[in-house]
Amino acid sequence: MNFGIDRLLADASLRQQLEGKRVALLAHPASVTADLTHSLDALVAAGVNVSAVFGPQHGVRGDLQDNMMESPDFTDPTYGMPVFSLYGEVRRPTAASMGTFDVMLVDLQDVGCRIYTFVTTLLYVLEAAAEHGKVVWVLDRPNPAGRPIEGLTLREGWESFVGAGPMPMRHGMTLGELGHWFIAHYRLDVDYHVVAMEGWRPEAARGFGWPETRVWINPSPNAANVNMARAYAGTVMLEGTTLSEGRGTTRPLELFGAPDVDARALIAEMRALAPEWLAGCTLRDIWFQPTFHKHAGELCAGVFIHAEGAGYDHAAFRPWRLQALAFKALRRLHPDYALWRDFPYEYEFDKLAIDVINGGPGLREWVDDKGAQPGDLDALTIPDERAWAETRAPFLLY
């Protein structure tokens, strides 16, 4: 199969449309061709006039580990063009940076989750392009989590850098498709094109979104593999808790735990509460010791989520519910556990991080309500999931 960048490089008629244009590239370390050449190098070699480069969160080089670690602007040492950070002094393109190009190529590997900030960066780029009369092309890439939909829809007034619009946590779309939805939803007047993939089969085993013929490269430092991408719609909620999400280990956002957790008891309580929410994956109790971040240097008991191997069922796996269930089980075992972490999260200073992550307080309120049952969360969430399935349908390209 071919990603958008591969199609552009192989199709002279597509590249011809860029002739005489100043072209910007929005990219990160996973912006590579089929032969693992970085897209910037490949475009320059193909004769495209790349006049500027833009980098999302974690930077063009992917060098910054944690959230709210900002990247500076700099000059590309190889080609000499300016490199503008969209996660530094600004998160929206400035008027000055918009003046450096005519067409922006967006070549970002996403992980299929609303909270992943590349989604919001795409929206901000589209809004800036509409304001400044620029053209945007998305060189489309797979959603490695595939087509499943899961989670509560972001509520009005809860928009943030991790919440670009009213979609659920697992949106099941590619960035190219989301661009079309953003333009329709926000009524943007922008010249927008998607260089679609060839041969992407999001429902096909074994990759279910990620083609096994392609090498996985971290789009951000803690996105180490496809298992992480599948689990992320649940494990990202750990960022709003005192539990470790595995930062400081070699498998971040695939596991969770803390020094004072009994992992086997927690799994047993999860299974007793809602065994159907554990379908499609294998949970393994583990020990780990983060080298940095939460509980650094402390031995933690925890749970590893295997959305892979013989135990993986793509249609049955529901990571958002699974992680919510872990919180609920912990509340049942330890009602007074200091679970929610109160700190500035992605530039939101007056809201709990867990609520920013979920686009509203509904998930947290369900966890903290002693009388709430799994069916109560389903009753809130299923209508949102069904509504999104209808909303996104006209924008699907594959």
CATH code (residue 131): 3.40.50.12170
The Cα–Cα gap between 133 and 40 comes to 24
Extract the tokens encoding 292.
């940095």
DSSP secondary-structure letter at 89?
S
Are 231 and 215 members of one domain? no
| C-alpha pair distances (Å), 256 with each of 42, 64, 291 | 39, 22, 15
Number of domains in the chain: 2
**Could you tell me which residues come within 8 angstroms of residue 60 by beta carbon, excluding any fewer than 6 positions away?**
27, 28, 29, 53, 54, 71, 83
Domain that holds residue 160: 4-220+390-395
Are 194 and 276 members of one domain? no
The per-residue pLDDT for 63 is: 60
Per the document, the length of the chain is 398
The Cα–Cα gap between 385 and 114 comes to 13
Where helices occur in the chain by DSSP H, the ranges are 4-10, 12-16, 39-45, 95-98, 118-132, 175-185, 226-235, 263-273, 319-333, 353-358, 362-368, 374-392
Helix (H) or strand (E) holding 111: none
Are 239 and 198 members of one domain? no
The reported pTM is 0.95
Are 124 and 35 members of one domain? yes
Domain containing residue 238: CATH number: 3.90.1150.140
Mean pLDDT of the chain: 95
Are 129 and 250 members of one domain? no
**Could you tell me which residues come within 8 angstroms of residue 66 by beta carbon, excluding any fewer than 6 positions away?**
247, 293
The per-residue pLDDT for 123 is: 98
Are 36 and 114 members of one domain? yes
Are 332 and 195 members of one domain? no
The per-residue pLDDT for 339 is: 98
The Cα–Cα gap between 317 and 398 comes to 22
Angle (nearest 5°) at CA 257 between 350 and 342 = 10
Are 238 and 154 members of one domain? no
**Could you tell me which residues come within 8 angstroms of residue 339 by beta carbon, excluding any fewer than 6 positions away?**
241, 242, 243, 327, 330, 331, 367
The answer to whether 180 touches 116, Cβ cutoff 8 Å, is no
- Reading the chain (398 residues) residue by residue, the pLDDT tens digits are 999 999 999 999 999 999 999 999 999 999 999 999 999 999 999 999 999 999 998 878 766 555 545 677 899 999 999 999 999 889 999 999 999 999 999 999 999 999 999 999 999 999 999 999 999 999 999 999 999 999 999 999 999 999 999 999 999 999 999 999 999 999 999 999 999 999 999 999 989 999 989 999 999 999 999 999 999 999 999 999 999 999 999 999 999 999 999 999 999 999 999 999 999 999 999 999 999 999 999 999 999 999 999 999 999 999 999 999 999 999 999 999 999 999 888 777 789 999 999 999 999 999 999 999 999 999 999 999 999 999 999 999 99
Compute the radius of gyration of the chain from its Cα atoms. Answer: 21
Are 192 and 285 members of one domain? no
Q: Is 92 left (phi over 0), alpha (psi -120 to 50) or beta?
A: beta
Are 242 and 351 members of one domain? yes
The Cα–Cα gap between 220 and 62 comes to 6
Are 79 and 195 members of one domain? yes
Q: Give Cα 354 distance to the centre of its chain.
A: 16
In this structure, how many other beta carbons lie within 10 angstroms of the beta carbon of residue 318?
23
Are 96 and 237 members of one domain? no
**Could you tell me which residues come within 8 angstroms of residue 261 by beta carbon, excluding any fewer than 6 positions away?**
243, 300, 301, 302, 330
277, HSE (Cβ side, Cα atoms, 13 Å): 27
Question: 38 phi and psi, to 5 degrees?
Answer: -65, 145
